[in-house]
């Protein structure tokens, strides 16, 4: 399996793109602004989108993806998410007011998009690949994902504050190679991180203390204004795990 980083920033500006990953050539993990850099041919190959949660920086390009290639596809694109997240997207995004409801066009019998609600901990198998939802702790219903090729695994936490059940689930993964984990705010912004249920470097270090193995730790969701200084804090307080910043455009193989 190959995971291509289309976007890994907490916001936009210049070359920065919000959260989106392309798994092989047919699966998106989240659909932030990074999806907009794909070619028409690449967009047309996407059959599945797994959404961590409903916030715009993670779903902004899904409506445009459907509008661009929906009519070119022979089968509907499948949008996978928790029951709660799909309910939010139905009510607030694909509602004909903000964007057309692609689950009923061009017809309810042959739509451009279909929903698949994932129960907590549910795994979806696509070919030889398994994608399982993981617990997360955010201000809206949210999950992370465990991507397993059989030979190796990657965990993406999505947006989360402290979450003991997440790390309990991660510690049960025997072939774990990578953990992509958010750190949205600097330590000085702890009150904001607590209110919005994100991590700071100190909170990240406390979470990683629960990690049993030694996968590579990749930091995502840094903010453009103070991302570099936040990353320096991460390196200092979590040095034992040798974390590094996830880079736009890099490809992880596992």
Q: What is the pLDDT of residues 34-93, one digit of tens each?
A: 999 999 999 999 999 999 999 999 999 999 999 999 999 999 999 999 999 999 999 999
Distance between first and last Cα of the chain: 6
- The pTM of the full predicted model, rounded to 2 decimals, is 0.97
Residues 7 and 76 reside in one and the same domain: yes
* Residue 252, domain member (yes or no): no
Residues 74 and 111 reside in one and the same domain: yes
Residues 130 and 14 reside in one and the same domain: no
Strand order across the 143-148 sheet: 123-126, 129-135, 143-148, 153-156, 176-182, 216-220, 244-245
Residues 182 and 136 reside in one and the same domain: yes
184-188 — which CB contacts under 8 Å span 24+ positions? Answer: 184/10, 184/159, 184/221, 184/222, 184/223, 185/223, 185/230, 186/226, 186/229, 186/230, 186/233, 187/233
Residues 142 and 228 reside in one and the same domain: yes
Q: What is the pLDDT of residues 180-194, one digit of tens each?
A: 999 999 999 999 999
Last residue of a domain, one of 88, 118, 148: 118
Residues 174 and 220 reside in one and the same domain: yes
* Residue 224, domain member (yes or no): yes
Residues 134 and 238 reside in one and the same domain: yes
Phi, psi of 196 (to 5 degrees): -100, 0
Residues 145 and 243 reside in one and the same domain: yes
What is the extent of the structural domain holding 183? Answer: 120-247
State the CATH number of the domain containing residue 40. 3.60.15.10
Residue that the structure tokens 């040095």 belong to: 239
Residues 110 and 158 reside in one and the same domain: no
Residues 87 and 149 reside in one and the same domain: no
Residues 103 and 207 reside in one and the same domain: no
How many separate domains does the chain show? 2
* Residue 166, domain member (yes or no): yes
Last residue of a domain, one of 65, 83, 118: 118
pLDDT band at 100 (very low <50, low <70, confident <90, very high): very high
Last residue of a domain, one of 118, 146, 167: 118
* Residue 65, domain member (yes or no): yes
CA–CA separation, 230 and 200 (whole Å): 8
Residues 112 and 164 reside in one and the same domain: no
Q: What is the pLDDT of residues 129-187, one digit of tens each?
A: 999 999 999 999 999 999 999 999 999 999 999 999 999 999 999 999 999 999 999 99
Q: Give, for 158, the enclosing helix (H) or strand (E).
A: none
């Amino acid at each position: 399996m190959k995971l291509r980083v289309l976007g890994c920033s907490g916001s936009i500006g210049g070359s920065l793109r919000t959260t989106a990953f392309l798994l092989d050539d047919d699966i998106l993990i989240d659909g932030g602004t990074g999806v907009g850099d794909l070619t028409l041919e690449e967009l047309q190959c996407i059959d599945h989108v797994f959404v961590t949660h409903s916030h715009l920086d993670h779903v902004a390009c899904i409506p445009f993806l459907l509008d661009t290639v929906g009519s070119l596809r022979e089968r509907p694109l499948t949008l996978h998410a928790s029951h709660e997240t799909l309910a939010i997207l139905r009510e607030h995004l694909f509602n004909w007011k903000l964007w057309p409801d692609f689950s009923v066009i061009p017809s309810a019998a042959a739509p451009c998009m279909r929903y698949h609600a994932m129960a907590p901990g549910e795994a979806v198998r696509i070919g030889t690949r398994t994608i399982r939802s993981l617990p997360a702790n955010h201000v809206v219903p949210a999950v992370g994902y465990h991507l397993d090729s059989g030979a190796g695994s990657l965990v993406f936490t999505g947006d989360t504050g402290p979450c003991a059940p997440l790390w309990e689930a991660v510690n049960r993964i025997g072939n774990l190679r990578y953990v992509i984990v958010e750190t949205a705010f600097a330590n000085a912004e702890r009150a904001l991180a607590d209110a919005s249920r994100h991590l700071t470097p100190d909170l990240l270090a406390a979470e990683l203390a629960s990690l049993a193995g030694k996968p590579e730790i990749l930091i995502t969701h840094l903010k453009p204004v103070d991302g570099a200084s936040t990353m320096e804090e991460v390196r200092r307080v979590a040095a034992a795990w040798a974390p590094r910043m996830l880079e736009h455009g890099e490809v992880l193989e596992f």
